[in-house]
C-alpha cells in the first residue's frame, strides 16, 4: 500500500539508481553541449571555449550533411519496411504447427545473437565478396557475372545486412502478438464469410498494430545509431555515410571535437524530431 | 428455412474417435439444445455443423443440400461464440455490419439492416462504441446482432451464456427465447446446463461421449428418461436412484424417483422413513436430504417451503407409485 512512509522510503531507495543514471546521461550530454560551442582541436592544441554557433553553421552548411541526413532516412526507412513486412510473414508462418517448431524458432532468432561487427564481416567476406562470396559462386554457376554488392549497390547491401540482423527481433515480437490473438475471432470471421486474405487484413493486422508500433519505435532508436556495419564494409563511402558516421568522421578523422560535438547535438535533435513524429503517427496505437 | 440433417457422421482426432456414427435431424424453425457433461462432444458436433471442423465420414445436409464439403461461410449459418469473438478494433456498428461488408452488400442496405438489428437488440445507443466499452450482456447482444443481420438458415450458439452472471444469464435466456419466437429460425444451442436446456428447447439432444442418449422434448425427457444417464442428468435436484431389495420389489434392477414425487409425512405407516439431515430452504421449496432410510445413503425430497422439519427429525416418505421409473441391469428403462 502506498502510505506516506512507504512512499518516502521508496524515494530514498531509488535515489542512488536515479542519481547514477542521471549522472551517466547528463555528464556526457552536458560535455557534448559544451564542446559544441567551442573550437576544440586537441591535436593542434587549440581550445577556444566560446565561438558561438560557428560549429553548427559549419556542420550543417557542408553538402555532406544533407546527404547524410537523406542516407540515414533512406536506410532506416528501408530496414523498417523490410523487417516489418518479412517479420509479419515469418511470424504467420511460425505460428502454424510445423515439424521441429522449437528448433526452427531458435534458428530464426539466432541472427540477433551475432555481434554487428561479426555479422557485417561475415556478409562482406563470405556472402557478398565478388570473388569468393556465396552470391558470386551462385551467379557464376548460373553463368552470370558476379555482382559486386558493396561497390555497385553499397547502400542496398548495408540495408540487407542490417535487415538480416533485425528481422529476428521483429519476428519475435510479432509472433508473440499473433499468438495472443483469440482463435474464435478468426473462426467468427470465417463464418462471416471473410476469405484468408481478408481475415488477415481485417482481423490479424489490426490486432498486430500495437506490436508493429513497438517494433518500429524500438528499431528506429537503434537503427539511427548504425555504425559497425558501415565501418566494416564501406567506411562511409559510395553514399553510405549516415549522420552517425559523419559525426564519427568529423571527430576522429579531422580531429575536430567541437565540430563533431555540434554534429552529435544535431543528431540528437533530429532523432528526437523523428521520435516525436513517430509517436504522433503511430503512438495512438499504444493507448486503449 | 433451416432443416438440418446429419447422416452417419463421425469425427476422429487422430486415433481418438470423438463422435461415433451419429444420425440426427433438426426440423425447420426448431430450437434444438445439445446438452451433456463437458467433453461429451456437443461443441464438436456444433463445429461440425458449422463447418469449422471437417467430418471424418458421413454427410451433412442443410435444406436438402449436401454441405459436407462446403466451407463455413457458404453454409448459410451464423454462430455465436462462447467468448463472443467480437472484433475489438471495430465499433459495434462495424462488428454487426462485418458479414454484410464481406458479402459486398451495398452501404444503404447494410445501414438499414444494422439499424434494424440494433433496435431489436436495444443496441441503438451503443453503435459507435467499441466492444471493450460494453458490459458482458451488451457484448452478447452484439454477437447475436452480428448473427441475425445475415438472415441465416440457422443460428448456432456455443455455450453463449456461460460467461455471464446468474441474473444476466436468466435475462439473456428469456431474450434468446423471445428472439426465437419472433424470428422462428432454426436454432442449435450447446450448453452443459440442463436448466438452460429445459427452459429454452423445443427438442433436447442429450449426449454422452459422442453418443446421443436421448432426443425429445423437455417434458418427454423429464417424464420418460430412456436410461439412467438421462434420468440422472435431466431434472434438478437430481433423481433419487435406488438399487437392491426395494428395486427388486418393483421388478427392476434400479428404480428412480424424483424429489418432487416423494411426499414427506408421519414416520408411522409410511413405506420409507429416515432422519432429516441437511435441509435447503429456498423460500418456495425446501429440499430435505433424508438419511438412514436403508435404501441409499441419502434421499432428496422436495417439500413445501415452510415445512416444519428440522435437522435430526424422523420423517416418513411416501413415493408417488405412478412416478417411479424402473431401469434394468443395463440401465435401460423398463416400459
The answer to whether residues B130 and B219 belong to one domain is yes
Domain boundary among B232, B266, B297: B232
Domain boundary among B232, B265, B292: B232
Domain boundary among B232, B262, B278: B232
pLDDT given for residue A285 in this prediction: 62
The answer to whether residues B225 and B136 belong to one domain is yes
pLDDT given for residue A277 in this prediction: 80
In-domain check, residue B335: no
Q: With both helix axes pointing from N to C terminus, report the angle between A205-223 and A154-179 in degrees, rounded to the nearest 10.
A: 140
On the question of pLDDT at A287 being above 70, the answer is: no
In-domain check, residue B28: yes
Contact across the interface for A192 and B83, Cβ inside 8 Å: no
Residues 75-94 of B with CB under 8 A from A: 77-79, 81-83, 85-90
pLDDT given for residue A84 in this prediction: 93
Kindly state the greatest CA–CA separation across chain A. Answer: 78
pLDDT given for residue A82 in this prediction: 94
Question: What CA–CA distance (Å, rounded) separates B152 from B141?
Answer: 17
Residue B77, strand partner residues:
B154
CA of A285, closest CA in chain B: separation in Å?
10
The answer to whether residues B71 and B137 belong to one domain is yes
pLDDT given for residue A1 in this prediction: 56
The answer to whether residues B11 and B96 belong to one domain is yes
Contact across the interface for A190 and B87, Cβ inside 8 Å: no
pLDDT given for residue A234 in this prediction: 79
In terms of average pLDDT, the best of A103-117, A196-210, A220-234 is: A196-210
pLDDT under 50: residue ranges of chain B:
none
Beta strand B314-319 pairing with B262-265: antiparallel
User: For B158, which residue in chain A has the nearest alpha carbon?
Assistant: A184
Of B72, B87, B102, the CB nearest to A185: B87
CATH of the domain at B317: 2.40.50.140
Q: Which of B80, B83, B96 is nearest to B156 (CA)?
A: B80
DSSP conformation letters of A111-180? GGGS-HHHHHHHIIIIIS-TTTSHHHHHHHHTTPPPP-HHHHSHHHHHHHHHHHHHHHHHHHHHHHHHHT
The answer to whether residues B90 and B130 belong to one domain is yes
Query: Could you tell me the residue range of the domain that residue B295 belongs to?
Result: 251-327
In-domain check, residue B238: no
Give chain A positions within 8 Å (CB) of B154: none
Rg (CA), chain B: 24
Confidence of residue A288 (pLDDT cuts 50, 70, 90): very low
* CB count in 10 Å sphere of residue B310: 9
pTM of the model: 0.78
The answer to whether residues B193 and B323 belong to one domain is no
Contact across the interface for A189 and B87, Cβ inside 8 Å: yes
CA of B169, closest CA in chain A: separation in Å?
21
State the average pLDDT over residues A84-110. 85
Contact across the interface for A187 and B73, Cβ inside 8 Å: no
pLDDT given for residue A123 in this prediction: 86
CB B123, CB B91: distance < 8 Å: no
Residues 2-61 of B with CB under 8 A from A: 50, 52
Distance of CA B113 to the CA centre of its chain: 30
Task: For residue A197, give the H/E element and its range.
Answer: helix A196-199
In-domain check, residue B240: no
In-domain check, residue B43: yes
pLDDT given for residue A22 in this prediction: 87
CATH of the domain at B86: 3.40.50.300
Percent of chain A with pLDDT over 90: 7
Kindly report the backbone phi and psi dihedral angles of residue A224, in degrees, each rounded to the nearest multiple of 5, phi listed first: -65, -20
Kindly compute the dihedral angle of the four CA atoms of residues A13, A19, A24, A27, in this order, to the nearest 10 degrees.
Answer: 180
State the average pLDDT over residues A260-282. 83
CB A234, CB A20: distance < 8 Å: no
Q: Is CATH 1.10.3720.10 correct for A29-115+154-286?
A: yes
On the question of pLDDT at A85 being above 90, the answer is: yes
Kindly compute the dihedral angle of the four CA atoms of residues A228, A229, A230, A232, in this order, to the nearest 10 degrees.
Answer: 80
Helix or strand or coil: residue B75?
Answer: helix
State the average pLDDT over residues A138-154. 80
Question: What CA–CA distance (Å, rounded) separates B71 from B51?
Answer: 6
* CB count in 10 Å sphere of residue B273: 20
On the question of pLDDT at A238 being above 80, the answer is: no
Domain total for chain B? 2
State the average pLDDT over residues A154-158. 85
Of B72, B83, B146, the CB nearest to A190: B72
Question: What CA–CA distance (Å, rounded) separates B195 from B85?
Answer: 25
The answer to whether residues B273 and B150 belong to one domain is no
On the question of pLDDT at A286 being above 70, the answer is: no
Confidence of residue A282 (pLDDT cuts 50, 70, 90): low
In-domain check, residue B66: yes
* CB count in 10 Å sphere of residue B264: 23
The answer to whether residues B168 and B264 belong to one domain is no
Amino acid at each position: 500500500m502506498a502510505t506516506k512512509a512507504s512512499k518516502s522510503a521508496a524515494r530514498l531507495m531509488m535515489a542512488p539508481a536515479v542519481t547514477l543514471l542521471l549522472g551517466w546521461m547528463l555528464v556526457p550530454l552536458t560535455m557534448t553541449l559544451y564542446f559544441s560551442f567551442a573550437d576544440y582541436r586537441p591535436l593542434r592544441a587549440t581550445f577556444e571555449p566560446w565561438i558561438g554557433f560557428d560549429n553548427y553553421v559549419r556542420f550543417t552548411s557542408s553538402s555532406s550533411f544533407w546527404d547524410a541526413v537523406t542516407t540515414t532516412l533512406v536506410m532506416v526507412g528501408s530496414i523498417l519496411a523490410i523487417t516489418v513486412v518479412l517479420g509479419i510473414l515469418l511470424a504467420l508462418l511460425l505460428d502454424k504447427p510445423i515439424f521441429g517448431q522449437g528448433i526452427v524458432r531458435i534458428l530464426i532468432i539466432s541472427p540477433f545473437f551475432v555481434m554487428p561487427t561479426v555479422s557485417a564481416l561475415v556478409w562482406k567476406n563470405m556472402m557478398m565478396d565478388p570473388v569468393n562470396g556465396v552470391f558470386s559462386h551462385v551467379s557464376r554457376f548460373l553463368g552470370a557475372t558476379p555482382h559486386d554488392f558493396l561497390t555497385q549497390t553499397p547502400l542496398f547491401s548495408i540495408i540487407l545486412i542490417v535487415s538480416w540482423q533485425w528481422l529476428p527481433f521483429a519476428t519475435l515480437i510479432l509472433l508473440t502478438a499473433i499468438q495472443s490473438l483469440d482463435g474464435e475471432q478468426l473462426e467468427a470471421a470465417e463464418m462471416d464469410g471473410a476469405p484468408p486474405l481478408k481475415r488477415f487484413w481485417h482481423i490479424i493486422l489490426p490486432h498486430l498494430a500495437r506490436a508493429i508500433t513497438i517494433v518500429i519505435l524500438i528499431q528506429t532508436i537503434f537503427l539511427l545509431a548504425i555504425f559497425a556495419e558501415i565501418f566494416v564494409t564501406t567506411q562511409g563511402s559510395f553514399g553510405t555515410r549516415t549522420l552517425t558516421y559523419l559525426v564519427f568522421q568529423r571527430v576522429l578523422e579531422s580531429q575536430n571535437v567541437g565540430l563533431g560535438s555540434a554534429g552529435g547535438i544535431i543528431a540528437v535533435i533530429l532523432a528526437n524530431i523523428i521520435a516525436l513524429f513517430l509517436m504522433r503517427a503511430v503512438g495512438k496505437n499504444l493507448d486503449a | 428455412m433451416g432443416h438440418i440433417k446429419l447422416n452417419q457422421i463421425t469425427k476422429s482426432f487422430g486415433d481418438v474417435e470423438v463422435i461415433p456414427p451419429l444420425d440426427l435431424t433438426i426440423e425447420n424453425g426448431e430450437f434444438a439444445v445439445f446438452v451433456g457433461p463437458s467433453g461429451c462432444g456437443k461443441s464438436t458436433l456444433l463445429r461440425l455443423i458449422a463447418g469449422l471442423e471437417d467430418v471424418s465420414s458421413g454427410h451433412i445436409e442443410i435444406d436438402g443440400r449436401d454441405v459436407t464439403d462446403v466451407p463455413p461461410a457458404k453454409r448459410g449459418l451464423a454462430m455465436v461464440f462462447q467468448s463472443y469473438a467480437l472484433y475489438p478494433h471495430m465499433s459495434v456498428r462495424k462488428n454487426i455490419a462485418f458479414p454484410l461488408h464481406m458479402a459486398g452488400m451495398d452501404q444503404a442496405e447494410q445501414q438499414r439492416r444494422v439499424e434494424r438489428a440494433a433496435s431489436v437488440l436495444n443496441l441503438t445507443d451503443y453503435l459507435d462504441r467499441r466492444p471493450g466499452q460494453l458490459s458482458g450482456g451488451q457484448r452478447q447482444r452484439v454477437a447475436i446482432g452480428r448473427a441475425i443481420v445475415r438472415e441465416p438458415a440457422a443460428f448456432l450458439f456455443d455455450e453463449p451464456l456461460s460467461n455471464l452472471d446468474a441474473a444476466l444469464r436468466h435475462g439473456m435466456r428469456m431474450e434468446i427465447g423471445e428472439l426465437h419466437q419472433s424470428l422462428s429460425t432454426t436454432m442449435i444451442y450447446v450448453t452443459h446446463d440442463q436448466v438452460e436446456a429445459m427452459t429454452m428447447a423445443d427438442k433436447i439432444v442429450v449426449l454422452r461421449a459422442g453418443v446421443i442418449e436421448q432426443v425429445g422434448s423437455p417434458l418427454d425427457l423429464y417424464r420418460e428418461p430412456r436410461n439412467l444417464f438421462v434420468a440422472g442428468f435431466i431434472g434438478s435436484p437430481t433423481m433419487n436412484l435406488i438399487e437392491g431389495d426395494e428395486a427388486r420389489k418393483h421388478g427392476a434392477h434400479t428404480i428412480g424417483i424424483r424429489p418432487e414425487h416423494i411426499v414427506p409425512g408421519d414416520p408411522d405407516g409410511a413405506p420409507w422413513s429416515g432422519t432429516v439431515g441437511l435441509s435447503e430452504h429456498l423460500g418456495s421449496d425446501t429440499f430435505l436430504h433424508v438419511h438412514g432410510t436403508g435404501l441409499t445413503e441419502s434421499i432428496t425430497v422436495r417439500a413445501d417451503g415452510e415445512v416444519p422439519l428440522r435437522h435430526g427429525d424422523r420423517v416418513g416418505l411416501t413415493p408417488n407409485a405412478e412416478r417411479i421409473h424402473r431401469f434394468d441391469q443395463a440401465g435401460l428403462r423398463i416400459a
